[in-house]
Structure 1
Amino acid sequence: MDELDTIIDNDDCCAMNKRRSHHSPEVKKNLTNRLNRIEGQIRGIKGLIEKDTYCDDVITQLSATQSALNSVGKILLEGHLKGCVVDRLSEGDDEVLDELLVTIQKLMKK
């Protein structure tokens, strides 16, 4: 099992020893498809650089790739809020709010 599988697996988001997400198989498939496309975009950008493609064209592709990554982040954040955060709050774990603020700050840096 790779790191991505661990991050977006479907069982017990907030178990004490292992936190895992609540993503349905459909959401996991959607995320995996998006990440596969992003992987292809990255390979394409590398190829553009190797071919000495005009800088503005490469920057346009970088922007599109960043937008695609942001979309994945939004999907993950939504699932985290609706699943993990709600569950942990209902269990009385208010530390999840501090964790969430740090996560949002990380996303906003980009």
Structure 2
Amino acid sequence: MDSADLDARRRVVNRLRRARGQLDAVIAAVETEASCRDIVTQLAAVTHALNRAGFVIVAAALQECVGRDDDAEGPTVDELEKVFLSLA
């Protein structure tokens, strides 16, 4: 596993941990009967964190695929992630 793969894995794990923390906040907000606005804001944050993790996973897989098909250096994971984010 090369350093780009390790970096992508680290970024995915960090985003998933962030999403887990945000989901814990949603649960706590529901349990304590927080305002609907606060709950929805936290849900949006969870969704965003999960989407970003998914984009990194797809971008890393696409980079690997592109790299196999072409001897020239392909786009970086960051560049591919930005493309995906522009579509979201």
TM-score normalised by the chain length of structure 2: 0.67
1:69 paired residue number: 50
Aligned with 1:37 (options 2, 10, 18):
18
Which structure has more helix as a fraction of its residues?
2
CA RMSD of aligned residues (A): 2.5
Identify the residue that residue 7 of structure 1 maps to in structure 2.
Answer: none
Paired residue secondary structure (2:34): coil
Letter of the 1:32 partner, please give it: V
Q: Which residue of 2 is the match for residue 58 of structure 1?
A: 39
Structure possessing the higher relative contact order (Cα contacts under 8 Å, 6 or more residues apart): 2
Residues 8-47 of structure 1: matches in 2 within 5 Å? 10=1, 24-47=5-28
> Which consecutive unaligned segments of at least 5 residues does structure 1 have?
1-9, 12-22, 91-110
Q: 2:63 aligns with which of 79, 82, 106?
A: 82
Alpha-carbon offset, residue 31 of structure 1: 1.1
Q: Which consecutive unaligned segments of at least 5 residues does structure 2 have?
A: 70-88
* Residue aligned with 1:24, SS: helix
Q: Is the 8 A contact 2:19 2:49 kept in 1?
A: yes
- Where do 4+ consecutive residues of structure 1 move more than 4 Å? none
Match of 1:17 in 2: none
- 1:47 and 1:64 mapped to 2: Cα distance? 15
- Distance in 2, matches of 1:86 and 1:28, equals 18
